[in-house]
Amino acid sequence: MTKDDDMNRIFSGIQPSGHLTLGNYLGAIKNWGALQNTHECLFCIVDLHAMTVPQDPQALRQATREVAASFIAAGINPQKSALFVQSHVSGHSELAWILGCFTPLGWLNRMTQFKDKAGKNREHACLGLYAYPVLMAADVLLYKATHVPVGEDQKQHLELARDIAGAFNRHFGVDYFPLPEPLIQGPAPRVMSLRDGTKKMSKSDPSDFSRIHLLDDADSIVLKIRKAKTDPEPLPAEIKDLEHRPEARNLVTIYGALAHKSPQDVLKEFAGASFSIFKPALTEIIVSVLGPIRTETLKLLQDPLMIDACLKEGKERACGLSEKNLSEVHKLVGFLAA
């Protein structure tokens, strides 16, 4: 029951709550491919999380396969990594209940995502939305994952997961759960909305023009970038001059992340250029990176049985680990062996 045999295990997840965005790609998926070569990886489609806001059952099923196909198309190798669906492994919900009994309400009350999502309608928000971060802690701790590659928006949830792991360990006087480290990597850990450079690009934004989807075709990308909010100034030569120009900074960051250049190097190339010059270049690079992922995803989606087979294999691998860990947790908390 030590954590030594579980060194360097990666877990991450994405909600199948809509089409994946460029934000999901740059903040998360793009960084996962390389980790498969150095770490044991589990990548999960977190449908239980998606349920915290209303979902159409048919659309949820479709989105779950679509996310799986996009993962594979973007470089996740299901032979190397466990690629699976959260609801297929019942340990997630079970451990969430157990960990919930070690999570003070005060900690949950600080979660900004709940405040943002519940808004003024707090009294009517569901328990699932409130308890969401405990389920997320359970996702990671169920596998005793040590590292969690995510975009910047998930940092607070992971700090909570560390606090919950610490509370559990202290309560039982053990060193059982590793404290998971967030890996906030890559050049674009926070991609912003194309309509408002102060807001995160999100699957749930009501405006489709606020985001690029991984499955957008070239024409949609052209249109969305053409309509992306900017300002009348040309691009500066120095990155510091973008400090108060969030939309311009976001577009430069996206370009750099896709071209493997720093934002400063992007400005070296485009200093003095107007957006009528920069936007077509940005469109071109987005289309050149996302185009092949889109083509491959659509191809994979034509064979749903193959996707389901990959997810089944992933489930089996995930269950192997989760069942072992959960039975150790049962022992620690004092459940009678079944």
Catalytic residues: 117, 200, 203
Query: In this complex, which beta carbon is closest to ligand TYM, that of residue 140 or of residue 242?
Result: 140
Query: Quick check: 210 binds ligand TYM (CB under 6 A)?
Result: no
Residue 287 lies near ligand TYM (rule: CB under 6 A): no
Q: Which of 24, 169, 322, 325 binds ligand TYM (CB under 6 A)?
A: 24
Q: How many Å apart are CA 96 and CA 101, to the nearest integer?
A: 9
Burial 119-140 (b: 16+ CB within 10 A, else e): eeeeeebeeebbbbbbbbbbbb
Distances (CA, A) of 243 to 52, 122, 211, 239: 35, 34, 22, 7
The answer to whether residues 76 and 32 touch, using CB atoms and an 8 Å cutoff, is yes
How many residues bind ligand TYM (CB under 6 A)? The answer is: 26
- Stretch of 31-39, 102-110, 143-151, 235-243 lying at the interface with ligand TYM (CB under 6 A): 143-151
For ligand TYM, the binding residue among 35, 41, 129, 150 (CB under 6 A) is: 150
Q: Report, in angstroms and rounded to the nearest whole number, the Rg of the chain calculated over CA atoms.
A: 21
Start-end of H helices in 213-303: 218-227, 246-259, 263-270, 275-301
Amino acid sitting at position 154: Q
168 binds ligand TYM (CB under 6 A): no
CA distance 97 to 200: 30
Among 201, 258, 289, 301, binds ligand TYM (CB under 6 A): 201
> Which residue number is nearest to ligand TYM in terms of Cβ?
27
Among 15, 31, 81, 146, which residue sits at the site for ligand TYM (rule: CB under 6 A)? 15
Nearest to 45 by CA among 331, 242, 318: 318
Residue 90: what are its φ and ψ, rounded to 5°? -70, -15
Question: Quick one: 140 or 329, whose CB is closer to ligand TYM?
Answer: 140
Question: For the stretch 284-321, what's the b/e string if a residue is b when 16 or more beta carbons lie within 10 angstroms of its beta carbon?
Answer: bebbebbeebbebbeebbeeeeebeebbeebbebbbeb
In which element (H, E) is residue 35 found? helix 30-35
Q: Is 23 in the site for ligand TYM (CB under 6 A)?
A: yes
- Sheet of strand 40-45, all strands in order from the earlier edge strand to the far edge: 82-85, 40-45, 9-14, 147-149, 181-183
Interface residue with ligand TYM among 40, 47, 66, 153 (CB under 6 A) is 153
Instruction: From residue 330, give the alpha-carbon distance in Å to each of 94, 125, 163, 168.
Output: 10, 31, 20, 13
Q: Contacting ligand TYM (CB under 6 A), which of 3, 88, 190, 249?
A: 190
Judged by beta carbon, residue 152 or residue 269, the one nearer ligand TYM is: 152
Count Cα atoms within 13 angstroms, Cβ side, for 239: 11
Least distance (Å) from ligand TYM to the CB of residue 305?
26
The contact pattern for ligand TYM, residues 29-68, with x = CB under 6 A and - = no contact, is: -----------------x--x-------------------
Can residue 326 be called a binding residue for ligand TYM (CB under 6 A)? no
- Does residue 294 belong to the site contacting ligand TYM (CB under 6 A)? no
Candidates 91, 151, 197, 256; binder of ligand TYM (CB under 6 A) is 151
Cβ 100 to ligand TYM, closest distance in Å? 15
Q: Does 148 bind ligand TYM (CB under 6 A)?
A: yes
Interacting residues toward ligand TYM by CB under 6 A: 11-15, 23-24, 26-28, 46, 49, 136, 139-140, 148, 150-151, 153-154, 157, 189-191, 200-201
